[in-house]
């Protein structure tokens, strides 16, 4: 991988996932990263929420939280508009709620400042 990173909770630095599980950084323009897997320190509510603002307007989702501090760090789409339908069932981290530890140069950077290499999801 060109850019290896570990994703940390902004609130308490708990490890939430890593870039090896990243499957859709192309959604970065929407403010989130999409992963196949996350650490056991990511939990989610069973109840569904409905998005009232873009980009989740009209989408049903489960909120993701950091197990350690309770910070809301993202969501799992349950139902979505056609442009987000390929992300259903995947873990979406809000970029403004996570930090990235870059392995190559051993630095911490805001996730909003990182552009990961393009990855495409197969239908």
Assess if residue 120 is contained within a domain. no
pTM: 0.88
pLDDT per residue as tens digits for the range 32-56: 899 999 999 999 989 999 999 888 8
Assess if residue 123 is contained within a domain. no
Task: Give 90's Cβ-side CA count (13 Å radius).
Answer: 21
Number of domains in the chain: 1
Q: What percent of the chain has pLDDT over 70?
A: 88
Q: What DSSP character marks residue 30?
A: G
- CATH, residue 106: 2.170.150.20
Assess if residue 119 is contained within a domain. no
C-alpha closest to that of 23 among 92, 85, 75, 112:
92
Q: What is the mean pLDDT of the chain?
A: 88
As a whole number of angstroms, the distance between CA 44 and CA 23 comes to 20
pLDDT bracket for residue 90 (50, 70, 90): very high
Q: What is the pLDDT of residue 99?
A: 97
Give exposure, 11-42, as e/b (b: 16+ Cβ within 10 Å).
Answer: beebbbbbbebbbbbebbebebbbbeebbebb
Domain range spanning residue 62?
5-113
């Amino acid at each position: 991988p060109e850019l290896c990173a570990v994703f940390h909770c902004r609130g308490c630095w708990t490890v939430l996932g890593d870039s090896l599980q990243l499957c859709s950084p192309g959604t970065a323009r929407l403010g989130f990263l999409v992963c196949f897997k996350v650490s056991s320190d990511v939990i989610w509510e069973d109840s569904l929420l409905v998005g009232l603002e873009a980009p989740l307007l009209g989408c049903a989702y489960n909120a993701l939280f950091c197990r350690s501090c309770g910070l809301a760090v993202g969501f799992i789409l349950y139902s979505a508009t056609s442009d987000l339908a390929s992300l259903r069932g995947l873990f979406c981290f809000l970029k403004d709620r996570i930090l990235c530890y870059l392995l190559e140069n051993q630095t911490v950077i805001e996730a909003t400042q990182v552009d990961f290499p393009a990855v495409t999801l197969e239908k």
